[in-house]
Amino acid sequence: MLNSNRSQSLGAFIFECVMAVLYLAISYSFLFTSIFNTVIVNPTIRQILGALLGLYGIFRVYRAIRKAMIRSKE
């Protein structure tokens, strides 16, 4: 039972990290590439969305690390 709980925790941690990296990658795409120029024409909107996604990605990284530290103490 303990091994199953540990593998679920590891799976959840990996998923959280992958999602955080995905948010950061999309943020980078909005801010520094021209991929979304045809989708969102206004550069100000792209910059705002990129910044918000970047902040959310950083928050997800922080939360994943914090949860992992709490789980390791248990």
**What pTM was computed for the model?**
0.82
Residue pLDDT, tens place only, 12-69 = 889 999 999 999 999 999 999 988 888 888 999 999 999 999 999 999 999 988 988 8
Q: Which residue has the tokens 């939360």?
A: 63
Q: How far is CA 28 from CA 1, 15, 16, 36, 69, in A?
A: 41, 20, 18, 11, 28
Q: Strand, helix or coil at 41? A: coil
The residue ranges of every structural domain in the chain are 2-73
